[in-house]
Each structure stands twice: as structure tokens, then as C-alpha cells.
Homo-oligomer: A and B are copies of this chain.
Amino acid sequence: MASVAIMGFGTVGSGVAEVLTMNQAEIRRKTGCPVELKYVLDTREFPDSPFRDRVIHDFAILERDPEVTAVAECIGGCGVALEFTRRALAAGKHVVTSNKALVAAHGPELLELARAHNVNYLFEASVGGGIPVLRPLMFCLAGNQVEEIVGILNGTTNYILTKMLREHAAFADVLREAQRLGYAEADPTADVEGLDACRKICILAALAYGKQLPEDKVYTRGITGITDEDAAAAEAAGMQLKLLGRAFRAADGKTALYVSPHCVPGGHPLAGVEDVFNAILVRGNAVGDVMFYGRGAGKLPTASAVVGDLIDCLLHSEKRREIGWTAGSEADMADIAQQPMRWLIRTEAAKGAAEAALGQVQWVMKGALLTPPLPRARLDALQENGFSLLSMLPILD
């Protein structure tokens, strides 16, 4: 018999309890012993929940219980979640989580604490919901130099952009509908401004390149400025609009990473990823391109990843997984404004002026063109000098 606990009984936490219960027999087959959910830690009571008799309010109860081997932290944020994670690891308990904010902000400290106490800190659910991506990246692709990681990391914004292109609808209208359907939160800022995607690309880059870079220094552009004119221009160019998080090794050896809406050419594997689905493409120097696809959020998909991590801890409970990265700084980051990319640009400039400013361009419709590879700094300078730039979107090549 193995005992586990859940901290935080919201959407993900209650999903973890549900998966542990509905797949009890399967989990027992895999771990070789029954897995008991012993405690559910929350400030609230849940009188109608089948798990009401396991609810506790005092973290110290599970902290001091030697029977509890592993804990799923589903509280979220960097407040008590950080304190309880530190204390659980220090008490010799494995901790698994879906909390991307905590991993992105405190990953190195918590991984080091886990190492010091010979336990695991696992967080597969923090990127891509239920899609397996962190473990494959760490272990299956370990023989590669990762040349690039690029992904649709946020389901809410992918739903909005898919609808904008498919139905020629405006951003504000689609956002309202997404909120009505429960695909977007009442306060959608973290999703639509790209902050959620930014945390996820920081975690992916840390695993691929070994350094955790400061998320507040990452160039992050969300989708609130995307207009139906942008969508029409992308469509005319045979491209899809996708909010992408992207990390690659720049020419100077530093890590380039950023979040931005992109134009994705029609034949690209990411172009067909629609609605709330996520996908992450990894380019390794041996394997070439591999892609991971699935539902990047939602109660049971996210719980699936948390329970997978719990099972890994129980199955290998004396056998710590070696995961490590160290804290990096802005000095490890390449200047994104200097990386050459092709762009879809909308402009009021006349043909001659546009070609004089940008070089050999390709017009896709009146007022919209594709540029040759140019750094963003160059476009910014043109705009400062009075060149008409109604909008600019990088192209994923």
C-alpha cells in the first residue's frame, strides 16, 4: 500500500482524485500495490465530495505522516504552494505538480532541495497539460543537441485565433464566446497577453539548454493586438495565425526565446493544430523534427500528467530521477530584436517605397507583403523614420 496526498482541491486537484479513483485497478497493476489517497489539503470543506472524509486544513498533518510517500501540489501560484512544496520535499516526500508559475520562478531551488533529500520534484503537467513532453525531452531526446523548440502552448489563444481565421470574426467577439464556453477565464490576461505561454517556453528552454532564464526578461507579445485585417492577410498568404513560444540557440551561442503571434505556412505540422489543442515541436540535431500533440489543458488531461508523475515516484521511489538545471540570467539570453526572421507586414507604403525599404518582398494582397529575413530592430528603426507599418508578424520557417 502506498499513500499519497493532494494539496489544493480545485479543478486539477479534484481531477487527480477522480483519476486515482477511476483508474485504481490500472494504477495498481502498474505500481504493484494499491495506491491510497490519504489526504486532501484545502482551506475549504467539501461536504458533497466523495473525498470529504480525507479533507484536512493543517499542512503539518501530512507533513508529519511517514506513510505519505508522494504529494500532488495543485494549489497554483507562488505563495503557500512554494512554502508547502519546500516543506514536503524537506520532509522526504516526492512532490509532483502542474504549477507552471512555481516551476518557472523557483525550479532550480526546488530541484536542488529534492536532490538534497533524495526525492523527486516532477512537473510534467506544467507544460502541455496531459501531453507528454518534458519527460520525452529530458530522456528520449537526451542524445540530441536541441536546435529549436516551438509550440502552441496555450489552448485559449489557439481557440480564439482558429475562430478568427475560420469565421472572419473579431478578437473581442471571439473572446466573449470563449469565456461563455469556459475556454477563457473571466480575467483572460495571462492567456491572451502570452504570460502563460512565456512560463511554459521558459520551462522547456531550461530542460533543453540547462539554464532557467528570467521570465520577466523574455520578449512576450500576446494576441490582443491581432485584427481581422491581420487574419485576412495571413489567409491570403496561405498561412495560419498561431501564438507560439519559441526557443532556439542563436548564432552567438546564447538562448533566444520569445512569445509572439506568428504566421505559420499551411504545410507546417503546427498549422493544422486547431481549437484548444496544443502541440510542441522539438528539432534535434540527430532526430530531426518530432512533435507532441494533444489537449493542453482541462481537468482530466492535466490530472493524467500529475498521476503519471505520482506513479513514476511510487514505482521508482528509492530511485531519484536526475533532472537538473541551474539558474541563468539575462546574460545567457540572445537579443531577440537582432534575430533575422521573415515577416508578414501590413503597410500603407507604395510599392516602390516598400521595396526600397525592405528589399525583395512578396505581395500577398493590397497593403500586405512578406519580407526577406530581417531583424525586428531594423523594422522598428524604419517605423521610427516614418515608414508605414500597420502590423508585423514573424513567419515560422
A: residues with CB less than 8 A from B are: 15, 19-20, 22-23, 26-27, 29-30, 124, 130-132, 135-136, 139-145, 210, 269, 272, 284-295, 298, 300-301, 303-308, 310-312, 315-316, 318-322
Contact = CB atoms under 8 A, between A and B. Distances in A.
Contacts of A303: 143, 286
A292 B20 CA distance: 25
A145 B26 contact: yes
Nearest to A300: B286
B304 A144 contact: yes
A34 to B, nearest CB: 15
Residue among A26, A140, A320 having the largest count of chain B Cβ atoms under 10 Å: A140
21 contacts: A15-B286, A19-B143, A23-B143, A23-B286, A26-B144, A27-B142, A30-B142, A130-B286, A136-B140, A139-B308, A142-B312, A143-B303, A143-B306, A143-B307, A286-B304, A287-B300, A287-B301, A287-B304, A315-B322, A316-B319, A319-B320
Contacts of A298: 288
Contact of A319 (B29, B130, B304, B319): B319
A332 to B, nearest CB: 14
Contacts of A321: 316
Residue among A22, A294, A316, A320 having the largest count of chain B Cβ atoms under 10 Å: A294
Contact of A22 (B22, B285, B289): B285
A349 B145 CA distance: 58
Given A130-B288, A287-B294, 14 more contacts: A15-B286, A23-B285, A26-B143, A124-B140, A132-B132, A132-B290, A142-B315, A143-B303, A144-B304, A288-B294, A288-B298, A288-B301, A291-B293, A291-B294
Counting from the closest, the 6 A-B pairs by CB-CB distance are: A143-B307, A132-B140, A290-B294, A319-B319, A132-B136, A130-B287
A305 B301 CA distance: 26
Stoichiometry, as copies per complex, reads 2
A321 B19 CA distance: 23
Nearest to A138: B30
Given A139-B308, A272-B272, A290 B292 contact: yes
